[in-house]
Homo-oligomer: A and B are copies of this chain.
Amino acid sequence: MSRELRVGLHAAIVAVTGEQPRVLTVPDPAGDLPTALPFGPLDPDQHRTLELGLRAWVQEQTGMELAYVEQLYTFGDRDRASSDADGARVLAVAYLALVRERQLAEERGAWESVYAVLPWEDRREGEPNVLRDHIRPRLGAWVREGADTATRRLRRGRVDITFGSDSAGWDSERVLDRFELLYEAGLVAEAYRDRAGSTRTQPDPGFDEPLALDHRRILATALGRLRGKLKYRPLVFELLPETFTLLRLQRTVEALVGVRLHKQNFRRLVERGRLVEGTGRLESATGGRPAELFRFRREVLHERPAPGVGLPGLPPKRSRRA
């Protein structure tokens, strides 16, 4: 009588290589879908916990043992992607995993640039072109299309708060909000897959190469969470080798947050937070004066309640003073 219920376990496995955040993708196991995040169904008999089930699937599909793993969100909209595979109702439990660059070799799967999938999220070189040339204009159009004044006002407000405006500024953590807004406005391909009967034209192919299922939504959730958590948990160190220079640390954070930081102040924060300690050794391949190699001070976990790489109010546009 009742439709069958299934649960998928999905992993956004993130690393940072060459100043780019990357996510591990695999060819779709079924073979008929585009590239996907590693995922597989929860086996109610075999998987003792959800996380163990996830680890098993990742191990099987990529050969990778995960260290840091964190649950993100459970998606279950009936009319959105994934679901309704063959008449069954399918939920997706999404996870974020962090791995070191070192592990990138020899595994199966490919490391896709996160910003190739979510291009509007990288503001390290200023506002990206896609945003200025494509997204903002179309969002403007979407606002104007609103049926009545109230709708238009509401839409304008959402656009301003998620994508920033003169008064609001860019909140790097609202990655999911931005993706969902683009989805609603019909600016990402996923929107078409889901509401087939839409009358709108296809979005620009180019800033739009979705992953299988709702995996881009999962990635957006992962990036948002990661950006937020970076500030109060020492997650970056899961992505860095044992020792690293302060610049390397900064570049890694910048890659994830998608924003440039003030060098001296960044170092001051890291040092004042006693997050790292110098190893007398130097790294000389810096291109300039050699830099000292530092390592993460694990003891900090026992000293302070919420240690993280304190991102300040972010250098660009600040919310104006009270």
Question: Using a CB–CB distance below 8 Å, which chain A residues touch chain B?
Answer: 2-7, 42-45, 47-50, 71, 73-74, 76-79, 88-89, 91, 93, 157, 160-161, 167-171, 173-174, 271-274, 301-306, 319, 322
A190 to chain B, nearest CB (A): 16
A28 to chain B, nearest CB (A): 22
Instruction: Classify the secondary structure of A's interface with B.
Output: loop
Contacts of A91 in B (CB 8 A): 7, 50
A51 to chain B, nearest CB (A): 9
Whether A5 touches B42, Cβ cut-off 8 Å, given contacts A76-B49, A78-B48, is: yes
Question: What 5 A-B pairs are tightest by C-beta distance, nearest first?
Answer: A44-B89, A171-B305, A3-B44, A50-B76, A272-B322
Residue in chain B with minimal CB distance to A306 = B171
Copies in the complex: 2
Q: For the complex, give the distance between the alpha carbons of A93 and B43 in Å.
A: 17
Contacts of A170 in B (CB 8 A): 305
A165 to chain B, nearest CB (A): 8
Q: With contacts A7-B7, A49-B76, A50-B77 known, what are 12 further pairs, Cβ within 8 A?
A: A2-B45, A3-B45, A5-B5, A7-B91, A47-B78, A48-B78, A49-B77, A71-B73, A171-B305, A173-B306, A271-B322, A303-B319
A269 to chain B, nearest CB (A): 10
Contacts of A5 in B (CB 8 A): 5-7, 42, 44
Contact A301 B48 (CB under 8 A): no
